[in-house]
Structure 1
Amino acid sequence: MTQSEIAKRLGVANTKAHRLIARATRDGLIRVFVDGEVAECIELEDALSARFSLAFCRVAPDLDEPGMPLTALGLAGATFLKNEIERGEHNLIGVGHGRTLAAAVNRMPSVEAGNTRFVSVLGGFNRRFAANPFDVIHRLAEKTDAEAYQIPLPLFANSLEDKKVLLSQSGVGEVFDIACSASLVFVGIGSVSADASLLANNMVGEEEMGILRDSGAAGELLGHYFQLDGTPAAEAFSARALAPDLHHLARATVVGIVGGPEKVRPTLALLRSGILNGLVIDELTARKVLGEAPAR
């Protein structure tokens, strides 16, 4: 790659890429060779970007992790988030919660946020009103010393009327409006399987999950559900979500982070929906997604 291409892929300015390359060369940190595995990941990134019209894609190399590839995803997600903070193009970054995002924030070094603020883009309390076990927004605030906001509500209201009441409470509506105005949204992709995180965290009940499956839902993002072909599913249920609506997300840059064999169908559903502008994904899942969606 040229220096310009490297800067674009890493999400940094050309001058910074030049300084980094020069310093690494001077310090003997660079060896020139062809890494087949990394080259294959770049090919996957290009294939996914072309197939699903993505502006950004990062494929994390396989690290032979048992179960969900949290180390690989954490490193790739941390790099993406750190680069976006340092670029300073987004004054307000919205983040979700879950295992993959928690892994990314935990892997991220402390970084000066400048004028960047952060906001949780979905309600973060489960039905027992306990804090989410994979809290992200507080950890992110600690690592950046930046202003951060959390929607002090559950992910789903019991009804649309209850949602209106919750959002009318003093201070709550203001934070929700902030969440809806984030220009970059970095979130996980959920499933409707038996081990779905929303089900495990009591944000969705067994009966509700059964209704979602019956509707044909295959994937979830911020409480919005989609069928495998990318069309919305269970829209009446999604309307109760305390998260930005789809028209708000359409105005933002939405980047998903996802991995694991159970996330192949959910990832396909979200990629086909057209909501995602970018994707951070592990190598094995990326291969399976492309295998399930051959080029036309």
Structure 2
Amino acid sequence: MDRIAWQNPKRERSRAVTARTKSKRTSFQANQEEFKLRCAWLYYVEGMTQEQVAHNLGISRLKVLRLLAATRDEGTVQVIINSQAQSFLALQRALEKHLGLYEAVVVPASDQGEATIASVVGYAAARFLSDQVSDGLSVGIGWGGSLQACMRALTWREAEGLTVVSLLGGLTRASAYNPSSVAWRLADFYQSELYQITAPVFVPDEGLAEALWAQEDFRQLRERARSVDIALLSVGDVSTQASIFRRGILQPEDGKSLRDAGAVGDVLCHFVDQTGVVIDHPVNRRVMAIDPTVLRQVPKVVIASGGVRKVQAIRAGLLATGARMLITDVAAANALLELPPVERTRS
């Protein structure tokens, strides 16, 4: 007799059911995989919202969340940060650690021309400042090419009780490069109250500067500068290319004398050495501007400056003011990393 006739019918039926079950399970798993892929494709590639994906697939938003999480966990979907963005992030983090900053913003510059650097750094500063604008905010403002560019890129926000404090005096002649013009433009843009040092940024002699600072209005303005919420400023170097000499605010012989005395840059028209100390020099004794060390009491001090030429001045400016935020360009950021690190006291 044929052997097959002697096999147990129940066992054969059981094997058949098992085979069909396995087939269904395999089919179900395949469908689930396809379903997850469709979900991921719609969300990550076609840019649908989770609600739109749920509607398209006829499932709940919670189910969409679970499917998307599964694709990431299984490695079907991998999140990759753009290599250029990743390098910028790494540079910013390195700069924060090296200079003891809370935040560094590094922007690309297509070339190292002064106007280009000022434009891109100024734009980044404008984005930062525009985001900070709120009711009752008080802003201390400096000057420089980056801040002039910043004023051209501000975003309007409604804010009541906004106050702008100019941190330095101006020029006796009208000029687009007047140090006090940046504060005026900021106040005009946001239609806010403005406090200014109504005196030339450099007066003829030390005695006149002392007499002016003794005036009640100037004393009050100095105190007001100490209590601003944000101080935004730029720095300058002491080369012959620096705006303060090119614009005739100071003479070339002043620059040489300052360099000989150890100055590496100016912060609010106060000339500082590489450690951020305001040097003992006649020019510093006749300046009508807030001493940068006063800003150490300000909660948020931001320096917006770029260019390799200014790296010594930037580092000195951070030390002089206690600034914990820096907005600069890539080339300057890399050059700053080659300088000695900045040691900060915990605060």
Q: How does 1:159-178 map to 2 (within 5 A)?
A: 159-168=205-214, 171-178=217-224
**1:39 equivalenced with 2:86 (yes/no):** yes
Query: Once the 2 structures are TM-superposed, how far is the Cα of residue 131 of structure 1 from its aligned partner?
Result: 4.1
Q: Where does the alignment leave 5 or more consecutive residues of structure 2 unmatched?
A: 1-46, 53-78
**Over aligned residues, Cα RMSD in angstroms?**
2.9
Query: Once the 2 structures are TM-superposed, how far is the Cα of residue 96 of structure 1 from its aligned partner?
Result: 0.8
- 2 CA distance for matches of 1:71 and 1:247? 27
Q: How does 1:94-243 map to 2 (within 5 A)?
A: 94-125=140-171, 128-133=172-177, 135-168=181-214, 171-234=217-280, 237-243=283-289
* 2:338 maps to which of 266, 291, 296: 291
**1:82 equivalenced with 2:82 (yes/no):** no
Q: Deviations over 1:151-188 (max 9, x none)?
A: 11111233332013334557455444433432321111
Give the structure with higher Rg (CA).
2
| TM-score (norm: length of structure 1) | 0.78
- 2 CA distance for matches of 1:179 and 1:131? 24
Are the equivalent residues in 2 in contact too, given 1:217–1:227 (CA < 8 A)?
yes
- 2 CA distance for matches of 1:232 and 1:25? 57
**1:71 equivalenced with 2:119 (yes/no):** yes
Are the equivalent residues in 2 in contact too, given 1:106–1:139 (CA < 8 A)?
no
Q: Deviations over 1:22-81 (max 9, x none)?
A: xx985x9xxx75222222222222111111211222111334464441332122111111
- 2 CA distance for matches of 1:245 and 1:104? 23
**1:250 equivalenced with 2:334 (yes/no):** no
Are the equivalent residues in 1 in contact too, given 2:99–2:342 (CA < 8 A)?
no
Structure 2 residue matching 1:233: 3-state secondary structure: coil
Q: Where does the alignment leave 5 or more consecutive residues of structure 1 unmatched?
A: 1-23
Higher relative contact order (CA 8 A, sep 6+): 1
Query: Once the 2 structures are TM-superposed, how far is the Cα of residue 140 of structure 1 from its aligned partner?
Result: 1.1
Paired amino acid for 1:84: Q
Query: Once the 2 structures are TM-superposed, how far is the Cα of residue 244 of structure 1 from its aligned partner?
Result: 1.9
* 2:106 maps to which of 44, 48, 59: 59
- 1 CA distance for matches of 2:48 and 2:250? 52
- 1 CA distance for matches of 2:98 and 2:234? 20
Query: Once the 2 structures are TM-superposed, how far is the Cα of residue 100 of structure 1 from its aligned partner?
Result: 0.5
- 1 CA distance for matches of 2:342 and 2:324? 19
Q: Deviations over 1:109-154 (max 9, x none)?
A: 22223322111100121xx533452621222122211112221111
Which segment drifts farther, 269-278 or 255-264? 269-278
Structure 1 residue matching 2:236: 3-state secondary structure: coil
- 2 CA distance for matches of 1:66 and 1:223? 23
Q: Tell me: CA distance 1:108–1:65, structure 2 relative to 1, closer, same or farther (3 Å).
A: farther
Task: Quote the sequence identity (%).
Answer: 27
Size of the aligned set, in residue pairs, is: 266
Query: Once the 2 structures are TM-superposed, how far is the Cα of residue 197 of structure 1 from its aligned partner?
Result: 1.5
**1:263 equivalenced with 2:310 (yes/no):** yes
Q: Tell me: CA distance 1:234–1:164, structure 2 relative to 1, closer, same or farther (3 Å).
A: closer
Structure 2 residue matching 1:292: 3-state secondary structure: coil
Q: Tell me: CA distance 1:164–1:115, structure 2 relative to 1, closer, same or farther (3 Å).
A: same
- 1 CA distance for matches of 2:238 and 2:112? 23
- 1 CA distance for matches of 2:158 and 2:313? 34
Paired amino acid for 1:285: A
| TM-score (norm: length of structure 2) | 0.68
Which segment drifts farther, 191-200 or 90-99? 90-99
- 2 CA distance for matches of 1:63 and 1:112? 34
Are the equivalent residues in 2 in contact too, given 1:261–1:285 (CA < 8 A)?
yes
Which segment drifts farther, 162-171 or 52-61? 162-171
Query: Once the 2 structures are TM-superposed, how far is the Cα of residue 258 of structure 1 from its aligned partner?
Result: 0.5
